[in-house]
Amino acid sequence: MRVVVDLNRCQGYAQCAFLAPDVFAMHGEEALLYDAQPDDAHRADVLRAVAACPVRAITVEGAGGRWTADRVGASDGA
Amino acid sequence: MALDGSLERLRREGHIVVVGASLAGLRAAETLREEGFTGTLTMIGDEPHEPYDRPPLSKQVLLGLVPVDRTALPRRRAIDARWRLGVAATALDMAAKRVTLADGTSVEYDRLLIATGVRSRPWPNELEAGLDGVFVLRTTDDAARLVHRLRAGPRRVLVIGAGFTGSEIASVCRERELPVTVAERGPAPLVGALGGVIGEVAAELQHQYGVDLRCGVMVTGLEGDGAGRLRRAHFSDGDALDAEVAVVALGATRNTEWLAGSGLAAGPRGIACDAGCRAFDVRGIVSDDVFVAGDVARSPHPLFGYQFLSLEHWGNAVAQAEVAAHNMISPGERRRPHLWTPYFWSAQFGRNIKSVGVPNMADQILVSQGSLSEHRFTAVYGYQGRVIAAVTFDQAKWLEFYQRQIERAAPFPLPFTTVDRRTEGMRPVPAGFPDPSVPSHGPEVTVSGHSPTDQRVTFTPA
């Protein structure tokens, strides 16, 4: 599976690092590092992380995933 | 004008060619399909890989936490494209509406999107650049070579240039417990992008993490041994340093050479386009067939005096690609401007650095929250009495508030108090940006062009 985090949007709440620790990890107090192509075995954890992210910064491709990262700072409507 | 016959035909059966198969090119292609383009779509990319994400390369990939071949970008949707990967575009004929490729073939288009991005500026001496042990970091192949060498445990790594990429590489080296020297021509790390006040903080962090930081010096030569391996570096202050690895992090150069002679307004500082992403030709007239998005674009931003901004930012590539794609298949009155407020992040030395706005336009800076000495703060940048940018170190949650201040041109200094304001944040001080006419690794954001308010032109190093 494929994952991307909009790190402009991420504010370091670390919910993903608790829910899918094999995929997301805090580096220092606020910076997030993650595996962009985790094994499918982690899919359920990753989807929980997507749902729990307070700023909806995580996007997953494919089943159960959908594009959720809105543009940051764009003032034009979609 | 409603959808006239020709636009309707374009949307149904036209041929759109996207040159550049990275973040901006991919997101544009997805947007074209999302918005109903059913014609032929061709994606041309000089790298052999499918679109992948670059920011992890200097962070989790270099740290060895994630394999180098595992940063492919997720797809929003199927784009049903003809992919021409591993073959660069070499020429554009605007009259014939044709792109020529490196393998001698050519592709004709009805509309063209140029998203060729940037590449690492190489070490200027070709012989020295070719030494075994001299690297740049931009592509996944670059990352694979560098991570392989770091894993072998070199006795010392030299990083040339202390912009964001150079600083992130140095940070990774220290986490890998490798001895690292950073050489920076300017007075401090990150000074071109964030100014001297924040540059001081960046320097403190590098010292704290054990980097041998040398500012105000240039690397004048790289010396190899008999087998062509890097052995030593020489500095402008006369010093020399033994190093097995040198990473050249002197900023980026825009991939516009293939457009020479095409008649497009393309040069070392990018391709000029309007806020609707339509490319200017050399006469200053916008094209209706050729669009630009991502790092290679320079476009005027109303918030910043209509100056042409050229942004090497992940979020800008996404937002501009979406606008360009929408405008490529929309009639005039439905076109949208690219009004993205510049936003970027960097993770280094245990800190999360984020920025909004255009810091290097600023004349003054004020630490509005937290403290520089704690390396955890929010700094606001002012330009001629208005808020123009903000930077946080481990305080990302406040940044959105400052984005709103920038977007409504709030007065600087802010006429109200802020949470966790310290005595150091009571008075603005000069932001400390170096003279942009002096060559350096180059700021992340270059600001140039005519401003209708003061007709001032700011030149930045190419």
Q: Strand B230-235 and strand B219-224: pairing?
A: antiparallel
Model confidence at B11: pLDDT above 70: yes
* pLDDT tens-digit map of A10-33: 999 999 999 999 999 999 999 999
> Is the distance from CB of B406 to CB of B126 less than 8 angstroms?
no
Phi, psi of B445 (to 5 degrees): -115, 130
Chain B: closest CA distance from residue A18 (Å):
18
Taking CA atoms, B273 is separated from B113, B268, B294, B302, B313, in Å, by: 12, 14, 11, 14, 17
Considering only alpha carbons, which residue of chain B is nearest residue A71? B319
Q: Where are the domains of chain A?
A: 3-60
B446 — pLDDT class (breaks 50, 70, 90):
low
Which tokens go with B241? Answer: 């340093």
Residue B455 confidence (pLDDT): 38
Tell me if chain A has a CB within 8 Å of the CB of B341.
yes
The CATH number corresponding to A3-60 among 3.30.70.20, 3.10.20.70, 3.40.50.300, 3.40.390.10 equals 3.30.70.20
B59 contact residues in A (CB cutoff 8 A) = 27, 33
Could you tell me which residues come within 8 angstroms of residue B257 by beta carbon, excluding any fewer than 6 positions away? none
The overall longest dimension of chain B from CA atoms, in Å, is 70
Considering only alpha carbons, which residue of chain A is nearest residue B71? A36
Could you tell me which residues come within 8 angstroms of residue B284 by beta carbon, excluding any fewer than 6 positions away? B265
Amino acid (one-letter) located at B358: V
DSSP conformation letters of B27-53:
HHHHHHHHTT--SEEEEEESSSSPPB-
Residue B462 confidence (pLDDT): 34
Q: Which CATH architecture has domain B5-55+71-119+253-334?
A: 3-Layer(bba) Sandwich (3.50)
* pLDDT tens-digit map of B390-426: 999 999 999 999 999 999 889 999 888 888 888 888 8
Residue B458 confidence (pLDDT): 36
> Is the distance from CB of B173 to CB of B150 less than 8 angstroms?
yes
A34 contact residues in B (CB cutoff 8 A) = 56, 60, 66
Neighbours of B387 (CB within 10 A): 27
A69 — pLDDT class (breaks 50, 70, 90):
very low
Residue B434 confidence (pLDDT): 82
State what percent of residues in chain B have pLDDT above 70. Answer: 94
Among the listed ranges B34-48, B265-279, B397-411, B441-455, which one has the minimum average pLDDT value? B441-455
Q: DSSP letter at B424? A: G
Taking CA atoms, B26 is separated from A56, B12, B136, B391, in Å, by: 21, 20, 24, 29
Closest partner residue to B74 among A33, A59, A74, by Cβ?
A59
What CA–CA distance (Å, rounded) separates B9 from A28? 53
What radius of gyration do chain A's Cα atoms show? Answer: 12
What CA–CA distance (Å, rounded) separates B407 from A73? 9
Could you tell me which residues come within 8 angstroms of residue B381 by beta carbon, excluding any fewer than 6 positions away? B195, B357, B359, B361, B362, B364, B365, B387, B388, B389, B390, B391, B412, B431
Considering only alpha carbons, which residue of chain B is nearest residue A13? B397
Q: Which of B242, B275, B273 is nearest to B259 (CA)?
A: B273
A29 contact residues in B (CB cutoff 8 A) = 350, 352, 394
B459 — pLDDT class (breaks 50, 70, 90):
very low
Average pLDDT, stretch B446-452?
51
CATH for B126-250? 3.50.50.60
Tell me if chain A has a CB within 8 Å of the CB of B402.
no
The overall longest dimension of chain A from CA atoms, in Å, is 38
Closest partner residue to A36 among B66, B318, B322, by Cβ?
B66
β-bridge partners, B447: B309
Residue A78 confidence (pLDDT): 25
Global pTM reads 0.91
| Residue with the two structure tokens 């202050």 | B237
> Is the distance from CB of B192 to CB of B251 less than 8 angstroms?
no
Residue range(s) of every CATH 3.30.390.30 domain in chain B: 343-448
Closest partner residue to B345 among A7, A36, A67, by Cβ?
A7
Residue B418 confidence (pLDDT): 87
Residue B419 confidence (pLDDT): 87
Which residues in B289-309 are b (16+ Cβ under 10 Å) and which e?
A: ebbbbbbbbbbbbebbbbbbb
Average pLDDT, stretch B348-355?
97
Tell me if chain A has a CB within 8 Å of the CB of B164.
no
Residue B457 confidence (pLDDT): 33
Residue B3 confidence (pLDDT): 62
Closest partner residue to B70 among A10, A37, A76, by Cβ?
A37
Across the interface, do B65 and A35 touch by the CB < 8 Å criterion?
Answer: yes
Chain B: closest CA distance from residue A34 (Å):
7
DSSP conformation letters of A9-22:
T-----HHHHH-TT
| Residue with the two structure tokens 């500026």 | B121
Considering only alpha carbons, which residue of chain B is nearest residue A58? B74
Tell me if chain A has a CB within 8 Å of the CB of B175.
no
Fold of B343-448: Enolase-like; domain 1 (3.30.390)
The DSSP element (H or E) to which B324 belongs, if any, is helix B314-328
What CA–CA distance (Å, rounded) separates B211 from B223? 22
DSSP conformation letters of B200-254:
HHHHHHHHHTT-EEEES--EEEEEE-TTSBEEEEEETTS-EEE-SEEEE---EEE
What CA–CA distance (Å, rounded) separates B312 from B252? 9
Q: Strand B106-108 and strand B297-301: pairing?
A: unpaired
Residue range(s) of every CATH 3.50.50.60 domain in chain B: 5-55+71-119+253-334, 126-250
* pLDDT tens-digit map of B305-318: 888 999 999 999 99
Residue B424 confidence (pLDDT): 84
State what percent of residues in chain B have pLDDT above 90. Answer: 84
Q: Which of B231, B99, B229, B211 is nearest to B166 (CA)?
A: B211
What CA–CA distance (Å, rounded) separates B132 from B138? 18
What CA–CA distance (Å, rounded) separates B168 from B349? 8
Residue A39 confidence (pLDDT): 92
Across the interface, do A61 and B75 touch by the CB < 8 Å criterion?
Answer: yes
State what percent of residues in chain A have pLDDT above 70. Answer: 78
What CA–CA distance (Å, rounded) separates A20 from A46? 6
What CA–CA distance (Å, rounded) separates A31 from A14? 9
The DSSP element (H or E) to which B399 belongs, if any, is helix B399-407
Q: DSSP letter at B366? A: E
Closest partner residue to A4 among B53, B59, B342, by Cβ?
B53
What CA–CA distance (Å, rounded) separates B310 from B71? 25
What CA–CA distance (Å, rounded) separates B159 from B151? 16
Mean confidence (pLDDT) of chain B = 92
Residue B198 confidence (pLDDT): 97
Residue B436 confidence (pLDDT): 64
Q: Give the ipTM of the model, two decimals please.
A: 0.85
Q: Which of B243, B196, B193 is nearest to B215 (CA)?
A: B196
Helical H segments across B41-190, by residue range = 60-63, 126-129, 140-151, 164-175
